[in-house]
Amino acid sequence: MCGVSKHSVRGPLEGLLVVDFSRVLAGPFATVMLADLGARVIKVEKPDIGDDSRAYGPFLGERSMYFARVNHGKESIALDLGLPADLAVARALIARADVLVENFRPGVMQRLGLGPDAVLAAHPSLVYCSISGFGHTGPWSQRPAYDAVVQGMSGIMAITGSADGPPIKPGSPVADLSAGLYAFGGICAALRSGRGTHLDVAMYDATVSLLEGAALAWLATGVDPGRIGNAHFAIAPFDTFACADRDITICAANDLLFGALCTTLGLPAVLRDARFATNVGRHGDREVLKGLLEGALRTAPAAHWLTVLEAAGVPCGPISGVAEAVGSEQSAVRQMVVDAGGVPVPGNPVKLSAWPDAGWRAAAPLLDEDGPSLRAEFGTP
Amino acid sequence: MCGVSKHSVRGPLEGLLVVDFSRVLAGPFATVMLADLGARVIKVEKPDIGDDSRAYGPFLGERSMYFARVNHGKESIALDLGLPADLAVARALIARADVLVENFRPGVMQRLGLGPDAVLAAHPSLVYCSISGFGHTGPWSQRPAYDAVVQGMSGIMAITGSADGPPIKPGSPVADLSAGLYAFGGICAALRSGRGTHLDVAMYDATVSLLEGAALAWLATGVDPGRIGNAHFAIAPFDTFACADRDITICAANDLLFGALCTTLGLPAVLRDARFATNVGRHGDREVLKGLLEGALRTAPAAHWLTVLEAAGVPCGPISGVAEAVGSEQSAVRQMVVDAGGVPVPGNPVKLSAWPDAGWRAAAPLLDEDGPSLRAEFGTP
């Protein structure tokens, strides 16, 4: 419909108008992806303090990097949705929007008169995306949720860590981020049809969908798979392995790669061992196999093995810290850090040849920075 | 363009034809999302053994659940792309496709004469999506990669685990899955423009983009954040906490929730403590704060605290195993397990009111199951 971004990011979503009632992480992460691909995103915030995440560090001067990472390139308007005049402004924004995103607890938008049924009845081609902890249906729909709550309840903590240690939360907020990614893709998919719809994305569903091999193991056997350290639930050898000085990853995910691995390590007897002839066999006896492989790997440092294994085409790598990863030459070439109005933020992994990444973004808005101009543009008294 | 799915899944992508050269996980995961939303997906496999993941367990009879989970609802054709006759079939499929997906090492499609430049020159409205370990540019582009290699190099293992323990791989293959999700969203976004493009998604970029607070902490300070257990890189209290019998998660991500938490635990002095007046203060002194909160929590079992905290609106939850999570009533209501031709597989988190989920999927294809009919339909001699 209407709307050219004042921020002039080019991308396949140019011309798309998104009105974004979402806060903190999952919703703003979905809409910053839309903004990065050319959409115009108008962020509606509560007056006075705005999005809670404006108070989350780290800070650069007074600017929250947490907030900037998922809100750069958006416009901000502060609205008290309990006040009729402000609610009218919200309705005027929605009337011209292609996409609405919100991540309130299920029921909150309804109580404001902005629930999906009412809004879609008035605007039948709108894509109305709700993101919540547990979804808009089911016995847990009213449970309040943040990332760690959902990670704990989804099973992903129960499958992270060693068999004899406690459950561990992945260091990334994968419940929020995976929900945001499903919302991003779901919104774009729905837009293609031209037909309006309510999109109901739950952080819980999203995280459960990531369990992969662990979920399949339970579905196959009815036995909870528990934790298996850094090993893989279906493939072996596919794990971390100790060299003389430190651990590396090795993933020999088919017979050819397993052959190349054994040959490179000088272990022809392991390659000939009938127990290890197939992936199923290797996975069943993966602890024995790991011991045999480490017997060779411990004779030389990681740097040696990474060089010779890479030369042999065996997938392997170091275990890098954040500085090495985010600060790598690969990250730089891939523009995985960009400048957003003076604040460094992660780049966009969606690299499109038809719309080369400029390598910078407009700053995240101050609270209500665009309020006056938006009230004028959307013509409410 | 052409193509009604023989599997009659309804969704916003009906009428879309996807030719899928991808194998194992990241690519097939992206295209199964497209299939679940109505696209017709034709999977091109190498003859004899097909996709490597047909050999990955768990198995139900002879059927790989790993393969079924990301290939249900697709058609399969076996092609040896080194043979001119089979390559001609591939070209005929591409000529009528809206989307091409591949996840070979960068350069492989070029050597087959199917690289993005050549294909896009002939088919300028095609969305050509490549997924690779490190992307098609940069010094690491030729490194072979599987999920664990990328997890190790992206920094996500370095931020998972306790400060005094080793790096730990999240139990989910997040490098593959996040790349697949970015590809899914990027493909749908690109389709909206009607303009062809090469989409270059790297598992490395995708995983680096998940580091969130840990990446921001390094960007802010230049100091590698390391591991902080189950705590959050920006918010406190937001962690696991010990009760009398076991741990629970609690996320009090703003002042209001922190107040409700302290009141419920009977800790008015903690609430009044100036160190904990803001999120920044609470995060800075989070270990002290955790000790004070656990002092109260350890006096009663987890079940008690979950009940009273939930009643007070404080986000909290148990740490559930895979059986409790995937087998929950919430998962059932949300159709997070569906039947794919007799094999249970995870459901689709993209829930669209306009296209209700049927709760079942067509089976994953046998190798070359649709080869004869596809050769006839696409009319190659």
Q: Which residues of B are catalytic?
A: 232
The answer to whether residue A338 scores a pLDDT higher than 70 is yes
pTM of the model: 0.97
CA pair distance A206, A169, nearest whole angstrom: 16
Q: Is the ipTM of this complex over 0.90?
A: yes
Mutate to test the interface with B, among A32, A70, A99, A219 (most CBs of B within 10 A): A219
User: Which of B167, B184, B209 lies closest to A346 in CB terms?
Assistant: B209
The answer to whether residue A126 scores a pLDDT higher than 60 is yes
Tell whether A74 lies on the interface with B, counting CB pairs under 8 A: no
Q: Which residues of A are catalytic?
A: 232
Chain-chain contact of B225 with A322 (C-beta, under 8 angstroms): yes
CA angle A268, A269, A273 (to 5 degrees): 120
pLDDT at B6: 58
CATH topology assigned to domain A238-242+247-318: formyl-coa transferase, domain 3 (3.30.1540)
Q: How far is A245 from chain B (nearest CA, A)?
A: 14
The mean pLDDT of A60-85, rounded to a whole number, is 97
| Chain centre distance of CA A304 | 34
Tell whether B78 lies on the interface with A, counting CB pairs under 8 A: no
pLDDT at A380: 63
What are the residue boundaries of the structural domains of chain A, listed by start?
A: 17-210+335-377, 238-242+247-318
Asked if A189 contacts B38 with a C-beta cutoff of 8 angstroms, the reply is no
pLDDT at B379: 81
pLDDT, one tens digit for every residue, chain B (381 residues): 344 445 667 899 999 999 999 999 999 999 999 999 999 999 999 999 999 999 999 999 999 999 999 999 999 999 999 999 999 999 999 999 999 999 999 999 999 999 999 999 999 999 999 999 999 999 999 999 999 999 999 999 999 999 999 999 999 999 999 999 999 999 999 999 999 999 999 999 999 999 999 999 999 999 999 999 999 999 999 999 999 999 999 999 999 999 999 999 999 999 999 999 999 999 999 999 999 999 999 999 999 999 999 999 999 999 999 999 999 999 999 999 999 999 999 999 999 999 999 899 999 999 999 999 999 999 864
The answer to whether residue A2 scores a pLDDT higher than 90 is no
Mutate to test the interface with A, among B172, B187, B256, B361 (most CBs of A within 10 A): B172
Nearest Cα to Cα of residue A286 among A355, A214, A235: A235
CA pair distance A186, A216, nearest whole angstrom: 24
Per-residue 3-state assignment (H helix, E strand, C coil) for chain A: CCCCCCCCCCCCCCCCEEEECCCCCHHHHHHHHHHHCCCEEEEEECCCCCCHHHHCCCEECCEEHHHHHHHCCCEEEECCCCCHHHHHHHHHHHHHCCEEEECCCCCHHHHCCCCHHHHHHHCCCCEEEEEECCCCCCCCCCCCCCHHHHHHHHCCCCCCCCCCCCCCCCCCCHHHHHHHHHHHHHHHHHHHHCCCEEEEEEHHHHHHCCCCHHHHHHHHHCCCCCCCCCCCCCCCCEEEEECCCCEEEEECCCHHHHHHHHHHHCCHHHHHCHHHCCHHHHHHCHHHHHHHHHHHHCCCCHHHHHHHHHHCCCCEECCCCHHHHHCCHHHHHCCCEEEECCEEEECCCCEECCCCCCCEECCCCCCCCCHHHHHHHCCCC
pLDDT at A6: 58
Tell whether B238 lies on the interface with A, counting CB pairs under 8 A: yes
pLDDT at A4: 44
The mean pLDDT of A18-36, rounded to a whole number, is 98
A window 305-324, beta carbon within 8 A of B:
310, 313-324
Chain-chain contact of A146 with B278 (C-beta, under 8 angstroms): no
User: Which of B116, B168, B214 lies closest to A160 in CB terms?
Assistant: B168
CA pair distance A347, A140, nearest whole angstrom: 35
| CA B188 vs CA A33, A182, B199: distances in Å | 12, 12, 11
pLDDT at A7: 62
CA pair distance B338, B349, nearest whole angstrom: 12
Chain-chain contact of A195 with B354 (C-beta, under 8 angstroms): yes
pLDDT in tens, A307-316: 999 999 999 9
pLDDT at A350: 98
* Class of the domain covering B17-210+335-377: alpha beta
* Helix intervals (H) in B59-104: 65-71, 84-96
